[in-house]
Amino acid sequence: MKKLGIAIYPEHSTVEKDKAYIALAHQYGFTRIFTCLLSVEGDQKKVMANFKEIIEFANELEMEVVVDIAPRVFGALGISYDDLSFFHELGAYAIRLDLGYTGNEESIMTFNPYGLKIEINMSNATKYVDNILSYQPNRKQLLGSHNFYPHRYAGLSYDHFVKCSALFKEHNLETAAFINSPSATFGPWPVTEGLCTLEMHRTLPVDVQAKHLFKTGLIDCAIIANAYASEEEMKALRDVVQQERFTFNVTLYDTITELEKKIVLEEFHFYRGDVSDYLIRSTQSRVKYKKEEFKPTHTPSIRRGDILIENELYGQYKGELQIALLDMENSGKTNVVGRIAEEEIFLLNELQPWDKFAFCER
């Protein structure tokens, strides 16, 4: 099940603003909240005062609050890994270990009497998770999440992200990664050039980032790392989660016919299994509409990301819908009826044979 989350940073905002943001996120189906105790200073009472009211409010909405913490903060607060009562009193759902221990400590923590989940760092591609598992933890209480990166160009490469994430999915552990809201303005630190896990996501619309994470099959929860995302962005993310088929945003050209538009937007599409380097083929429309006319209309040279419908000059192929994977010459037998949104064309790399997909007109 795909999940969505937000992040809050109480030391940089107000209780009222954070509550309003949490309530808005809840309205759009968000279930996870990330917050940060990495930079905490002072005693437990001060920390409790800063965070407890907000977390209690989130819990009333049945949202899961994950508190990010490092071993040095345990020391500053006088907390031991084998006594997590502080986080229980705080109302946390889970604690995230930005830096871990030796493996045995993490295993022991998963047996805490409060049912707190223990979330560990996914971004380092080491045998860390295997080491923890060798100490026989309570697997039901163990989660994973990636880091986020406020420094431009410092985010994870895609290949490294896949390698790291696969280590966790091999063990059927729940995973999370962070996405960046272009409209949000702050995070936990002064430097914020966007907050995301994958560097390739830094300048993309937030819903495109989430589509990509979920389509990899490696991430269960996408969390907006910076605050505050807009209501429009939350709505777009809700739509991503609710879509049963992978859905591309598209622009349709004025030359498209009513029948072609119906084929693009209303017919059920799946990626035919005999794969071509050049085309994703969805062939059922040519069967359903084989008696209809498909006159030549707009037939320019074909570019990667174009949406195509074969016209009647292609004989038995007329009415077939395709997506161009490569640039090609157009013999005049192919109507170019629209185009996938430029920022989503890279998502064609994630579509697999027999995947079901749909289009949404902007």
* Partner residues linked to 7 by β-bridges: 34
Q: Are 271 and 282 in contact (CB under 8 A)?
A: yes
Neighbours of 57 (CB within 10 A): 18
| Rounded Cα–Cα distance for residues 264 and 252 (Å) | 9
pLDDT digit string, tens, across residues 43-60: 557 667 778 999 999 999
Q: How confident is the model at residue 72 (pLDDT cuts 50, 70, 90)?
A: confident
Q: Are strands 306-310 and 321-324 parallel, antiparallel or unpaired?
A: antiparallel
> Of the ranges 97-101, 131-135, 149-153, 296-300, which one carries the lowest mean pLDDT score?
97-101
Q: What is the pTM of this model?
A: 0.95
Q: Are 196 and 229 in contact (CB under 8 A)?
A: no
Across the range 218-237, mean pLDDT stands at 98
Residue 42 has pLDDT above 60, yes or no: no
Q: How confident is the model at residue 81 (pLDDT cuts 50, 70, 90)?
A: confident
DSSP reduced 3-state for 118? strand
| Rounded Cα–Cα distance for residues 278 and 327 (Å) | 8
Q: Give the pLDDT confidence score for residue 162 in this predicted structure.
A: 98
CATH superfamily placement of domain 248-361: Cyclophilin-like (2.40.100.10)
Residue span(s) of the chain under CATH 3.20.20.70 come to 3-242
* φ and ψ of 183, to 5 deg: -90, -10
Q: Look up residue 246 and give its two tokens.
A: 């992978």
What is the architecture of the domain spanning 3-242? Alpha-Beta Barrel (3.20)
pLDDT digit string, tens, across residues 180-222: 999 999 999 888 899 999 999 999 999 999 999 999 999 999 9
Q: Give the pLDDT confidence score for residue 294 in this predicted structure.
A: 98
Q: Are 41 and 8 in contact (CB under 8 A)?
A: no
pLDDT digit string, tens, across residues 319-353: 999 999 999 999 999 999 999 999 999 999 999 99
* Partner residues linked to 276 by β-bridges: none
Q: Give the pLDDT confidence score for residue 38 in this predicted structure.
A: 64
Q: How confident is the model at residue 41 (pLDDT cuts 50, 70, 90)?
A: low
Residue span(s) of the chain under CATH 2.40.100.10 come to 248-361
In the chain, which ranges are E strands?
3-7, 32-36, 64-69, 94-97, 117-121, 142-145, 174-179, 221-224, 246-252, 269-270, 279-282, 306-310, 321-324, 334-340, 356-361
- Estimate the crossing angle of helix 15-27 against helix 231-242, to 10 degrees: 30
Higher pLDDT residue, 39 or 169? 169
Peptide bond into 149 cis (omega under 30): no
DSSP reduced 3-state for 66? strand
C-alpha to C-alpha distances, 180 to 61, 136, 193, 271, nearest whole angstrom:
24, 35, 10, 30
Q: Which residues, 6+ apart, have CB-to-CB distance to 240 below 8 Å?
A: 2, 207, 210, 211, 214, 247
Peptide bond into 228 cis (omega under 30): yes
